[in-house]
Amino acid sequence: MNFKVLLIYPNQRGMNMLPPAIGLLSSILKEDGNTVELFDTTYYENLGETGVLEIDSDNIKTEKLMARSYQMPNDITLKTTNVLNDFTKKVESFNPDLLAMSCTEDMFEIGIALLKKVRKYKIPTILGGVFATFAPDLALSFDEIDIVCKGEGEDALRSLCRRMRTGRAYDDICNLWIKNQDGSIKTNPTMMINMDTNPLIDMDIFEEARFYRPMGGKVYRMFPVETFRGCPYKCAFCNSPSQEAMYRKETGESYVRRKSFENMRRELLFYKEEMGAEYLYFWADTFFTWKKGEFEEFAEMYKDIGLPFWCQTRIETVRQDKMKLLRDIGCARISFGIEHGNEKFRRKWIARPVSDELMLKNFAIVEDSGIPFSVNNILGFPHETRELAFDTIEFNRKINSHDRNAYAFTPFHGTPLRNECERLGYLKNEDISKSVVTGAESNPLNMPQFPRTEVNKLVKTFNMYVKFPKTRWPEIKKAEENTPEGNKIFQELKNEFISLFFNERDENFEVSAMEKQIKAPMS
C-alpha cells in the first residue's frame, strides 16, 4: 500500500528559519516507504484570510524597518493566492492518508483554520510540537485533531503510519494520545528516542529559498545542526523545565542529552559537501551544555568543517578559554539571553539566579573575544511594572552588544510562568497564546500595573532608550505614542538611529525587535 502523509507547517511570513523537525520526520517516513509532501505557509503574503488573524501589514512587510536590502541568490516569490483554497487543492490532489501538523502554540489557530477547510474529507489528523506536548487535552478538544503526539515524534509517527497502512490498531503507541469516537481520550506512556538512530534531514521536501537567509549584511546558504536536546536550566518563561520534569517522571531519565560526535560529524559533512552550506547555526538552547572535555573534542572535530556558525548559550557558561577556542574554530556570531535587568526580579520570577556582577564580567570576556554578539530581553512579565522594565533598559546600556532584541512576554503552555498567569487570573487554561506579529491585541496579558499597550510601547522604542543619551528620553517617550505627532517623532528618531548606530555587519541572527517580529521557535 502506498501510504501518503501530508506534513503541515503553519508559519508566519518573515519567520523563515528552516524547521529541522519537519525535515527529520519526512526523512524517517520516506525511509519507511511512505510518500510524503509538505504544505508550508511561510511564503504566503497574507494569512489574514484564514479568519483567525487580523494582520497589520506594516508589522510583517518584507521590507525591514531598518531599510535593509539583500539580493537573494534564489528569488523568493510570495504567494498571493488564498492559502485556504491552496491547502484544499493540495489535499484533493495529493489525497493523503494522514495529515500530520507540527506547530507552535502561536501558530495553532492558523493550523486549525487550514484543517477546518478539509475536515469534510475525514482524513485522520495528528498534531505534534511543543503545544501538543504541554496542552494535549486542549489540542484534542478541537474537532479537527484526532491524535496528539506528546513528546518526541520520530518513533511514534513511524509506528502510527505502519499500523494505519496495514489496518492495525494504533491506540497503544507510546507518546500518542488518541481521541475515541465517544470523545474519551486514550493516553500512552511518553518515551524518549535515541537521537543517534535518526537519519539525516530530508532537504528535498523544502523550497530552495528556505536554505537562504541574511547574516551580517550578506545572504548565506544556511543549515541547522542539532547538538543537544533539552536544557539543564530552569527559566520560568521556557518549557524546558516542564519537559525535563515530564521525562524524569515518565522515563526516569534526563531529557538533556547530546548527539554522538560521530553523528554530528556526519551531519556537518552532509551540509558542507552535499548541500553546499556556507554558514551553519547550532540548534541548541545552551550550546555550552558540554560535559568536561567535550567542547574541546567538538572543537577538534569542527576544524575539518571550517564553516562560520552561529550559536546561543547562557552568559554563566562563558569562560575566556572557551571563547578563544570558539572564535578560533569559526564562531561568527553568538546570542545570549539577559531577559530582565533587575537581579531580584530575575531570581524570584524568572528563576535565573545569576548576578548582575557575573553577567557584566562575562559580557566583557565575550567582548574581548572579538566575536560579535547579541542579547535578548523580554518585557511584560507577570508582576513586572514599567519601572522594572526600565531596569532592563538600564542594564543593556552597560553592555557593548552588537545588537539587542526586546520581545513581549508570551505565556505559552508548559512554562512555569503560564501557570502563574493563570493563577493571577490574566488568562484561562483554554486561552491560546497568539503571535505578537499579528499586533498588540494578540498579547493575552493585560495587567493592571503594566497594560499591554505600555509593554508594546517599550518594545517599540527599546533600542532607542538603550542607545540614545538620557537627555533624549523625553523625546523617545513622545515617540511611544501612536498619534500623528508620536509617529512623526518616532520616524525621525528611527532615521537618526539608523544613521548613527545601524551597521549591517552587526545584524542579529534573530529578527530585530525594532522590526516588530519574533523568532520562530523550533517545532
DSSP letter for 373, please. Answer: E
Question: Cα(299)–Cα(227) distance, rounded to whole angstroms?
Answer: 13
3-state secondary structure of 262: helix
Question: Cα(160)–Cα(148) distance, rounded to whole angstroms?
Answer: 11
The structure's pTM equals: 0.90
Q: What is the DSSP string of 276-302?
A: --SEEEEE-S-TT-PPTTHHHHHHHHH
State the helix-helix crossing angle for 452-467 and 386-396, rounded to 10 degrees: 20
320-354 burial string, b = 16+ CB within 10 Å, else e?
Answer: eebbebbeebbbbbbbbbbbbbbbebbeebbbbeb
Query: Cell numbers 503545544 label which residue?
Result: 131
Question: Cα(293)–Cα(301) distance, rounded to whole angstroms?
Answer: 13
Cβ atoms 446, 452 nearer than 8 A: yes
User: How would you write the pLDDT of the chain (523 residues) with one tens digit per residue?
Assistant: 799 999 999 998 767 788 999 999 999 999 999 999 999 998 888 786 555 544 433 333 322 322 344 455 555 677 889 999 999 999 999 999 999 999 999 999 999 999 999 999 999 999 999 999 999 999 999 999 999 999 999 999 999 999 999 999 999 999 999 999 999 999 999 999 999 999 999 999 998 888 988 776 788 899 999 999 999 999 999 999 999 999 999 999 999 999 999 999 999 999 999 999 999 999 889 999 999 999 999 999 999 999 999 999 999 999 999 999 999 999 999 999 999 999 999 999 999 999 999 999 999 999 999 999 999 999 999 999 999 999 999 999 999 999 999 999 999 999 999 999 999 999 999 999 975 544 444 456 889 999 999 999 999 999 999 999 999 999 999 999 999 999 999 999 999 998 988 764 444 433 333 333 222 222 2
Closest CA to 313 of 385, 374, 380: 374
Residues 6 or more apart whose Cβ sits within 8 Å of residue 21? 102, 128, 129, 153, 522, 523
Cβ atoms 366, 333 nearer than 8 A: no
**Residue 473 CB-density burial (10 A; 0-12 exposed, 13-18 middle, 19+ buried):** middle
53-68 burial string, b = 16+ CB within 10 Å, else e?
Answer: bebeeebbeeebbbee
Phi, psi angles (nearest 5°) of residue 104: -85, 170
Handedness of CA 271, 277, 282, 283 (dihedral sign): negative
Question: Cα(327)–Cα(352) distance, rounded to whole angstroms?
Answer: 27
Secondary element (H or E) of residue 247: helix 240-251
Q: What is the C-alpha end-to-end distance of the chain, expressed in Å?
A: 29
